[in-house]
Amino acid sequence: MPVAIITGASKGLGRALAAALAERGWDLVLDARTAGVLKETAEELSAYGTRVEALSGDVGDAGHRAGLAAAARGLGGVDLLVNNASALGAEPLVRLEDLTLDGLRHALEVNVVAALGLVQEALPLLRAARAGAVVAVSSDAAAEAYETWGGYGASKAALDQLAAVLGVEEPGLRVWAVDPGDMGTDLYAAAVPDDDDARPTPDSVVPAFLRLLDERPASGRYSAPALLEAR
């Protein structure tokens, strides 16, 4: 069975994608910071009959990243790495004049440095896979200028560039940076707590990610709404 590592997998998009892959028979290595919620997620997904390894921890910790790769190795390798864990830098979001440099550093550490660190851990296994792929979960804030989204957007723009270069350096893999579009998630609620407008649920955009896995287009940056419209 194919194996996926998914970070930030206890809720939101990470959990929705993990559930879709489990339904397809994928074995999973799941990461999240909150052990209790992650354990519940793993138990629910195990009901599909797949093997699920759940490791709680901080993706910013090198030892934790090595543990995720080791868990995948124990399941047979890595076919897909999804860098989904994200940090805002400030909760709620603030204008750049008020963004602390420590907040920006934290967003960059989680969204960029940790993502690259996990790629480096998983790369030998991805190269050995029949059809290895990396997904970097991006944001429209990486490409558009939205007030208060500067720090987070900058970190996601850096993640996009890392994914683009990785795609060039690793032609045997598929490397996709994916903007999932507007979603109603805990991350968005923490970013803009006063926004009560209804937003699509994370599971509604999962078919876009599955389309990438099914069709394996060239490495590059993709928009989930555009992928869904083109179906």
Contacts for 186 with CB less than 8 Å, ≥ 6 apart: 11, 12
Please tell me which residue in 156, 219, 222, 223 is annotated as part of the active site: 156
Q: Which amino acid is at 81?
A: L
Q: What angle do CA 215, 218, 224 make, to 5 degrees?
A: 65
Please tell me which residue in 152, 219, 222, 223 is annotated as part of the active site: 152
Please tell me which residue in 10, 86, 138, 139 is annotated as part of the active site: 138
How many whole angstroms separate alpha carbon 94 and alpha carbon 148?
5
Q: What angle do CA 171, 174, 108 make, to 5 degrees?
A: 100
How many whole angstroms separate alpha carbon 5 and alpha carbon 143?
26
Q: Which two tokens stand for residue 40?
A: 């519940």
Question: Which residue(s) pair with 52 in the sheet?
Answer: 28
Q: Which two tokens stand for residue 101?
A: 């440099």
Q: What is the dihedral of CA 19, 224, 226, 78, to 10 degrees?
A: -80
- Please confirm, yes or no, whether 152 is among the known catalytic residues: yes
Q: What are φ and ψ of residue 39, in 5° steps? A: -60, -45
Which sequence positions are flagged as catalytic? 138, 152, 156
